[in-house]
């Protein structure tokens, strides 16, 4: 039997980003899955704050050079890669000068969202999918971490549903409490419609708050991990209504076992609660 192929898509990963629960898990989980004999690929944005020399990032010429259209404008896609020797894994970086050159991560110096945060998320998710296609690699599971990756389930299940690389891929979404105040651009849904996102998805993110982005991601996922720090009754109720496998109260010290159990469940098509 061939190894299960897991695609990890995260908005932040140590040691390239500051320590958060997302960056720690996004560093720990792929390594743990690899040690459990899974084949992995790992992606994150190439924020301008990342020191390329220190982390030895370099461009992957054969994967770069595509243009992605976001909001009716062409944006060059650059792919870089770096290794985490202690984890024996590579991380691919989605880069674009307009979206990611600024010397910040998810917010500006005042902690506010960027005006183009919605487009950054769109470019990131589509950039990952297009790069995976170019790699010729077919993931069995796509595991998403952080709101920056919340469009991935929507894209994978709709825009790319007829693509042979993703037609059979299962999507798992991790829910964290690391969010943002306010909402993304008021034009977000128009941009998604231009991208070809079906109208029936729009109501979930007509008001693109952190909670609604999570709901959209959960709605189009095959399984959900809810981190132990999450305490949101509305979101919990929404998850319960989806009738998909769920790991509740996922803790860092058991995240590898919990995630692999969930992967097995969604791949087997067993829609029962994994853990309460």
Give CA torsion, residues 257, 27, 215, 251, to 10 deg: 40
Of the ranges 11-15, 20-24, 201-205, which one carries the lowest mean pLDDT score? 201-205
Asked if the model's pLDDT at residue 276 lies above 60, the reply is: no
Side-chain half-sphere CA neighbours of 175 within 13 A: 29
In a domain, 274, yes or no: no
In a domain, 176, yes or no: yes
**Domain membership of residue 111 as a residue range:** 5-268
In a domain, 115, yes or no: yes
**Looking at residues 20-47, what average pLDDT do you find?**
96
Average pLDDT, the chain: 92
Each as own residue / partner, the long-range contacts of residues 258-263 (CB below 8 Å, 24 or more positions apart, any chain) are: 258/225, 259/29, 259/32, 259/33, 259/143, 259/172, 259/225, 260/33, 260/36, 260/38, 262/172, 262/223, 262/225, 263/4, 263/6, 263/38, 263/140, 263/141, 263/143, 263/170, 263/172, 263/223
Output the pLDDT for position 273: 44
Each as own residue / partner, the long-range contacts of residues 110-113 (CB below 8 Å, 24 or more positions apart, any chain) are: 112/182, 113/180, 113/182, 113/184
Interval 65-93: pLDDT, tens: 999 999 889 999 999 999 998 888 999 99
Cβ-proximal residues to 159 (8 Å cutoff; 6+ apart), any chain = 126, 195, 196, 197
In Å, how far are 156, 229, 237 from 88, measured between CA atoms? 28, 29, 39
In a domain, 112, yes or no: yes
Cβ-proximal residues to 128 (8 Å cutoff; 6+ apart), any chain = 7, 9, 43, 94, 152
Asked if the model's pLDDT at residue 270 lies above 80, the reply is: no
Query: Where does the pLDDT of residue 27 fall: very low under 50, low under 70, confident under 90, or very high at 90 and above?
Result: very high
Asked if the model's pLDDT at residue 115 lies above 60, the reply is: yes
Residues forming beta bridges with residue 10, ordered by sequence position: 145
Contact criterion met (CB below 8 Å) for 174 and 21: no
Asked if the model's pLDDT at residue 274 lies above 50, the reply is: no
Asked if the model's pLDDT at residue 220 lies above 90, the reply is: yes
CA distance linking residue 214 with residue 44, whole number of Å: 18
Nearest to 7 by CA among 143, 136, 171, 130: 143
Contact criterion met (CB below 8 Å) for 71 and 37: no
Output the pLDDT for position 75: 96
Side-chain half-sphere CA neighbours of 257 within 13 A: 5
- Which residue would you say has higher pLDDT here, 52 or 199? 52
CATH number at residue 111: 3.40.50.2000
Contact criterion met (CB below 8 Å) for 222 and 170: yes
CA distance linking residue 37 with residue 11, whole number of Å: 24
183 SS3 class: strand
Number of domains in the chain: 1
pTM of the predicted model as reported, rounded to 2 decimal places: 0.95
In a domain, 276, yes or no: no
Query: Where does the pLDDT of residue 201 fall: very low under 50, low under 70, confident under 90, or very high at 90 and above?
Result: confident
**What's CA 76's distance to the chain center, in Å?**
20
- Which residue would you say has higher pLDDT here, 72 or 247? 247
In a domain, 275, yes or no: no
CA distance linking residue 154 with residue 213, whole number of Å: 10
In a domain, 229, yes or no: yes
Output the pLDDT for position 275: 45
Each as own residue / partner, the long-range contacts of residues 64-70 (CB below 8 Å, 24 or more positions apart, any chain) are: 66/130, 66/134, 68/123, 68/126, 68/127, 68/130, 70/119, 70/122, 70/123, 70/126, 70/191, 70/195
Output the pLDDT for position 262: 97
In a domain, 139, yes or no: yes
Interval 147-181: pLDDT, tens: 999 999 999 998 898 999 999 999 999 999 988 99
Output the pLDDT for position 136: 95
Side-chain half-sphere CA neighbours of 150 within 13 A: 28
């Amino acid at each position: 039997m061939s190894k299960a192929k897991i695609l990890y898509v995260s908005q932040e990963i140590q040691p390239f980003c500051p320590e958060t629960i997302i960056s720690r898990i996004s560093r720990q989980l792929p390594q743990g899955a690899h040690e459990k004999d899974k084949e992995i690929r790992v992606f994150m944005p190439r924020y301008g704050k990342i020191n390329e020399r220190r982390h030895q990032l370099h461009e992957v010429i054969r994967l770069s050079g595509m243009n992605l259209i976001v909001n009716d404008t062409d944006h060059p896609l650059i792919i870089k890669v770096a290794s985490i020797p202690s984890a024996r894994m590579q991380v691919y970086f989605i880069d674009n000068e307009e979206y990611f050159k600024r010397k910040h991560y998810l917010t500006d110096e005042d902690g506010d969202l960027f005006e183009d945060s919605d487009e950054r998320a769109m470019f990131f998710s589509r950039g990952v999918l297009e790069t995976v296609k170019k790699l010729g690699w077919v993931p069995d599971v796509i595991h998403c971490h952080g709101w920056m990756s919340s469009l991935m389930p929507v894209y994978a299940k709709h825009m790319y549903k007829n693509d042979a690389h993703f037609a059979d891929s299962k999507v798992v979404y991790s829910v964290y409490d690391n969010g943002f105040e306010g909402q993304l651009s008021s034009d977000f849904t128009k941009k998604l419609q231009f991208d070809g996102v079906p109208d029936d998805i729009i109501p979930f993110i007509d008001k693109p708050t952190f909670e609604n982005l999570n709901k959209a991601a959960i709605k189009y996922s095959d399984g959900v991990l809810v981190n132990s720090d999450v305490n949101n009754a509305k979101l919990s109720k929404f998850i319960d209504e989806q009738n998909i496998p769920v790991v509740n109260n996922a803790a860092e010290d058991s995240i590898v076992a919990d995630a692999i159990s969930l992967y097995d469940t969604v791949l087997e098509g067993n829609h029962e609660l994994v853990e309460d």
